[in-house]
A = this chain, B = another copy of it.
Amino acid sequence: MSYLKEECGVFGLYGENTEDVASSAYYGLFALQHRGQESCGIVVNDRGVFSSYKDAGLVNDVFTKPVLDSIGKGQHVVGHCRYGTTGNSDRNNAQPIVVNHHKGRMAIAHNGNIVNAFEIRQELELDGSIFHTTNDSEVIAYTITKERINSKSIEEAVNKAMGRIEGAYSLIIMSPQKMLAARDPYGFRPLCYGQRSDGAYIIASETCALDAVGAEYIRDLDPGEIIVFNKDGATSIRDHCETRPHKICIFEYLYFARPDSTIEGHSVHKAREKAGALLAMEHPVDADVVIGVPDSGLDAAIGYSKQSGIPYGMGFIKNKYIGRTFIAPGQKNREDKVRIKLNVIGSTVKNKRVVLVDDSIVRGTTITRIVKLIRHAGASEVHVMSSAPPFTDPCYYGTDVDSKENLIACQHPLDKIAEVIGADSVGYLNVDHLNMIIGNAPGEGYCSSCFGTEYPTRIPTGNRDRFEKKLGDSDESDDTEDNYELFIRD
């Protein structure tokens, strides 16, 4: 399932009275860095001439002063940061993608995952097209370009393309003279826009990026909406959009998004506090202190503390100098690695009954180590609370929830998990209460399919097996279609 790894941040600025747009993209991406640390890129549009730079690495590693200077001035800009693992491959897959085409240049930044990417790609290749990456995003770029041949404008092409691609996508598309923002009809991934005092429009995955560049939030895009930014301001286009149920990813609130962001009118921090309060009602325990696992368990821990009346404490110090360059020389076991990153504040937990709140439990390995650390520091009891329900199913909409064989909730009955992770008790947020963290009706307006509810769309199937086919046989069967090779190591 490594093919699906994809959680990204997108940023766009459409300006008129500014030239220094690259630095705005820098700040915007820096604020969105939590959405993708693998690679990043910025494309500047200077009156139709595009300058870009993309590389593997964090925003402030990739965009040094000379690099920012080299991409120069402009009026509009698109940026992207991308989640991933490691290795050289990152550079090839970095976004935004720049397309140089007869019908006009285009830069495209994408957050999400397309469920019919395989079919579209196969069809295009049979027609002689060449792909340079294994990204869904290139499939989107191709689909738009194909439509553009017979379209009068780029918005018409995007509109048509949205009829062909299916799945989760929040897009920012820059043409020589316009900028487009688009969100898939289910609205799986967030996308909002605002305006700065100099008149520039800012589009971003989260409001924290608007804050970072001093822009005032206007609103989130509606699911299925396209907004065109040009000289005449921001114009909404909705005609391409069938009626679909709204399905914002609930895990954006629980984990992905930054607590200081507001998504569709709901404070992410408040949503997490509410999850913690709900946990306190669902899973009350007699305890002396509530602590959270830094950083994303802290909000819910505060909620649990307030609701239960059990004092909130600072349980850990997280070493803030850990970066991507951190190596772990001579470490034989992963317990040590956790200890390097997190150290328990002994005075908070010693001889105490501890409620330990985390954002979720995936494989269970990390929480097991943390419970051990707390016990070693002298806690008399440890009660683990997960502000997410148990993960039971893969996500097809742009996140990389682990495969079933690794998910602790798929491997053990829930009543055994406390034993497995060494806790006195474990509580998960009830999946039926997820609606309350954003004040919706039960099951309405959000996607929680990774927690076992129905998938909003068909899921990508069938052909996936052929993807996995052993490579290297192709010359022997040049006349068949069987040798579909997509995976490259580079």
- Give the bracket for the number of chain A residues in contact with chain B: 35 or more
Between A and B, 8 residue pairs with Cβ closer than 8 Å are A34-B321, A43-B490, A48-B472, A49-B472, A103-B125, A104-B478, A153-B475, A262-B347
Beta-carbon contacts under 8 Å, A153-182 to B: 153-154, 175-178
Assess whether A312 is interfacial by the CB under 8 Å rule. Answer: yes
Assess whether A430 is interfacial by the CB under 8 Å rule. Answer: no
Question: What 1/0 flags go to A257-293 for Cβ under 8 Å of B?
Answer: 0111010000101100000000000000000000000
Q: How far is the CA of A153 from the CA of B483 in the complex (A)?
A: 13
Assess whether A386 is interfacial by the CB under 8 Å rule. Answer: no
Question: What 1/0 flags go to A474-490 for Cβ under 8 Å of B?
Answer: 11101101011111111
Assess whether A99 is interfacial by the CB under 8 Å rule. Answer: yes
* Nearest-Cβ distance from residue A141 to partner chain B, whole angstroms: 7
Complex partner residue of A270 from B101, B270, B347, B470, CB under 8 angstroms? B347
Given the interface contacts A101-B125, A260-B317, does A474 sit within 8 Å of B26 by beta carbon? no
Q: How far is the CA of A23 from the CA of B302 in the complex (A)?
A: 37
* Nearest-Cβ distance from residue A449 to partner chain B, whole angstroms: 27
Complex partner residue of A105 from B50, B177, B331, B488, CB under 8 angstroms? B488
Query: Is B178 within 8 A of A103, CB to CB?
Result: no
Beta-carbon contacts under 8 Å, A118-132 to B: 122, 124-132
Query: Is B347 within 8 A of A269, CB to CB?
Result: yes
Q: How far is the CA of A72 from the CA of B43 in the complex (A)?
A: 33
Assess whether A323 is interfacial by the CB under 8 Å rule. Answer: yes
Query: Is B23 within 8 A of A330, CB to CB?
Result: yes
Query: Is A488 within 8 A of B53, CB to CB?
Result: no
Query: Is A317 within 8 A of B60, CB to CB?
Result: no
Question: What 1/0 flags go to A123-157 for Cβ under 8 Å of B?
Answer: 01111111110100000011001100101111000
Assess whether A20 is interfacial by the CB under 8 Å rule. Answer: yes
Please give, as numbers and ranges, the residues of chain B lying within 8 Å of A50 by CB-CB distance.
488-490
Query: Is A212 within 8 A of B339, CB to CB?
Result: yes
- Top 4 A-B residue pairs of the complex, sorted by shortest distance between their CB atoms: A48-B472, A104-B474, A177-B475, A267-B347
Query: Is A478 within 8 A of B152, CB to CB?
Result: yes
Given the interface contacts A319-B33, A320-B295, A321-B60, does A345 sit within 8 Å of B102 by beta carbon? no
Which residue of A61, A124, A269, A490 has the most chain B CB atoms within 10 A of its CB atom? Answer: A490
Assess whether A31 is interfacial by the CB under 8 Å rule. Answer: yes
Given the interface contacts A48-B473, A102-B125, does A31 sit within 8 Å of B299 by beta carbon? no
* Nearest CB in chain B to that of A132: its residue: B132
Query: Is A129 within 8 A of B130, CB to CB?
Result: yes
Beta-carbon contacts under 8 Å, A19-67 to B: 20, 22-24, 26-27, 30-31, 33-34, 37, 43, 47-53, 58-61, 63-65, 67
